[in-house]
Amino acid sequence: MRAMQVTELGQPLRLCDIPKPTALAGQVLVKTHTCGLNFGDLLIIKGTYQEKPEVPFTLGMELCGTVTLVGEGVTNLQVGQRVAAYCGFDALADYAAVPANVCVPIPDEMTDEHAAAFLIAYGTSHVALDYKANLKPGERLLVLGASGGIGLTAVELGKIMGAEVVAVARGAEKLEVAKAMGADHLVNSETDDIREVVKSLGGADVVYDPIGGAQFKAALRACNPEARLIPLGFASGEVPQIPANHLLVKNLTVIGFYWGGYTRVNPKVLTDSFEVLTQWYVSGKIKPHVSNVLPLEQANEALNLLKTRKATGKVVVKID
């Protein structure tokens, strides 16, 4: 079968012909239709992600596909069923053998493109804002990187949850995308002073941050007493060092959060979240923003859209 593989860290993916896997005990074999790309994929290629598979390996964290084979002991899925799955790796291929407990059935109303753009982006934002930060109606939510794959979902979900949303993104065009998703206030990270603008609005109660670096520092200084800050990633390339005295003076809480970690420590958090999100999707409350869909052979070009930050929302690779 075809697979886009990392054969050398830091180098472009190679289209390889590799053996088709089978479903072992506890797994299902999925015919992959679409793969959603994530910023973490870029880190995996460089070898700087939390998880480091042995080279060569097939890239791709999340997929949508159809179950073609059910392994021993699997009773919750059946052949012919459409599923979305967080697999960590292996999604950029014609087939993937995936643990059944990370697969979720998807409704008929959900397209393959939306399903591949759904699990990580919406799951990350929903668990972060609801389960971890306990965002309340009327609170002011500051979203950094608000036009990106997960940032845009934080804007959308924040509005659904009743928050006043302040979106920070680079340039007027990306801010318009955040506005279309419901942002109440727009901050241009290229020209505006994040701290001053947010303070003028009344300060932040919850900070959602996939960026890190200088933007995290500005957001920290714009927080109200008892605010909660959620660092989700460091797209700026700088992991901020948090001054504990600032936390003490304002009674601030910094919440560590890695969505993928819950597949091991408490998967029910993810399945409960996905149930809520699916209901919101079917009812029309949420709709994934997919800016680009490219074929498997152009996976490197698709990744470059993330690397150069030319994409808004999600980039999806279509396998078939």
Q: Are residues 114 and 221 in the same domain?
A: no
Give the tens place of pLDDT for each residue, 252-297.
999 999 998 888 888 889 889 988 999 999 999 998 989 999 999 9
pTM: 0.88
Q: Which residue has the higher pLDDT, 230 or 51?
A: 230
Which residue type is seen at 320? D
Q: Are residues 13 and 111 in the same domain?
A: yes
Same domain for 228 and 295? no
| Whether 71 and 24 share a structural domain | yes
| Structural domain includes residue 61 | yes
Judge contact between 206 and 134, C-beta under 8 A: no
Same domain, yes or no, for 105 and 234?
A: no
| 240-252 average pLDDT score | 92
| Same-domain pairing of 21 and 137 | no
Residue type, 41: D
Let me know whether 61 and 165 are in one domain: no
Confidence category of residue 140, pLDDT binned at 50, 70, 90: very high
User: Does position 202 have pLDDT exceeding 90, yes or no?
Assistant: yes
What percent of the chain shows pLDDT beyond 90? 82
Q: Residue 47: which domain range?
A: 2-118+288-318
- Do both 72 and 188 map to the same domain? no
Task: Please state the φ and ψ torsions of residue 104, each to the nearest 5 degrees.
Answer: -130, 130
pLDDT of residue 309: 86
What pLDDT, in 10s, does the model give residues 39-71?
Answer: 889 999 999 888 889 999 999 999 999 999 999
Mean residue pLDDT of the chain comes to 94
Greatest Cα pair distance in the chain: 59
Q: Please tell me the predicted confidence (pLDDT) of residue 65.
A: 98
In the chain, the amino acid numbered 81 is Q
pLDDT at 234: 87
Query: Count of domains in the chain?
Result: 2
Q: Looking at the structure, tell me whether residues 102 and 152 fall in a common domain.
A: no
| pLDDT confidence tier of residue 233, bands split at 50, 70 and 90 | confident
111 pLDDT above the threshold of 90: yes
Among 259, 276, 301, where does a domain finish? Answer: 259
**Which residues have C-beta within 8 Å of that of residue 265, sequence separation ≥ 6?**
none
One domain, residues 125 and 114? no
pLDDT of 143 reads 98
CATH number at residue 100: 3.90.180.10
